[in-house]
Amino acid sequence: MKKMTAMVHDIILQKKHYHHSVDFTMGNGNDTLLLAQISDRVDAFDIQKEAMQRTRQRLRAYDNVTYHLLSHAYASEVIRENIDLAVFNFGFLPGGKEELTTQLSSSAVAVHTACACLNYGGCLLLTLYPGHVQGKEEADYFDAWASGLPADQYHVMKLCMVNKENSPYILWIEKRKKASFADANK
């Protein structure tokens, strides 16, 4: 079976093209690279200079990415356009400093910003890691939040291993097209 990070890419590739994508946790740039390949423009965030430098170097052939060495909690101050795709891979950089893991206080602000800026038909992908303390806080919070999103406005899917406790999982949230809103309210 594929890793969750590869499954996220499979989900993203269900659409061939996006206008504006945002990678809220740049890390080693695996997600940013895919977004740059299939989007008109990309905003990418990380709080670690090394992550930004590594990603920038890796993506030097692409000129459609704006890099932000900034907490994603401040995304609303720099994002100028609605979003078609928002990717969050929470936790810490594999092989990096574990204390620089994402924290619920800033993650929640960033996800709410992304959701508020999402275009109709756009989607949010959250990869959560409940196997460590901060990851469990994020997982519990986002599970409850996503479960409460109105079903006539959002499709929400959870992809998880049901036989392995605390393994990483994906929350896939799609803002339904405006026409679907109208249909649901007929």
Ligand X SMILES: C[S@@+](CC[C@H](N)C(=O)[O-])C[C@H]1O[C@@H](n2cnc3c(N)ncnc32)[C@H](O)[C@@H]1O
| Residues at the contact surface with ligand X, assessed by CB under 6 A | 25, 27-31, 45-48, 51, 71-73, 89, 91-93, 100, 102, 106
Nearest distance, CB of residue 133 and ligand X, angstroms: 15
Tokens standing for residue 32: 């940013």
Nearer to ligand X, 48 or 180 (CB): 48
Q: Which residues pair with 162 in a beta bridge?
A: none
d(CA 20, CA 75): 14
Nearer to ligand X, 133 or 151 (CB): 133
For ligand X, the nearest residue by Cβ is 27
Nearest distance, CB of residue 182 and ligand X, angstroms: 36
Residue 48 has what DSSP assignment? -
Closest by alpha carbon to 37, among 25, 23, 51? 23
Nearest distance, CB of residue 90 and ligand X, angstroms: 6
Nearer to ligand X, 6 or 184 (CB): 6
Nearest distance, CB of residue 155 and ligand X, angstroms: 23
Q: Which residues pair with 42 in a beta bridge?
A: 21, 65
d(CA 146, CA 99): 26
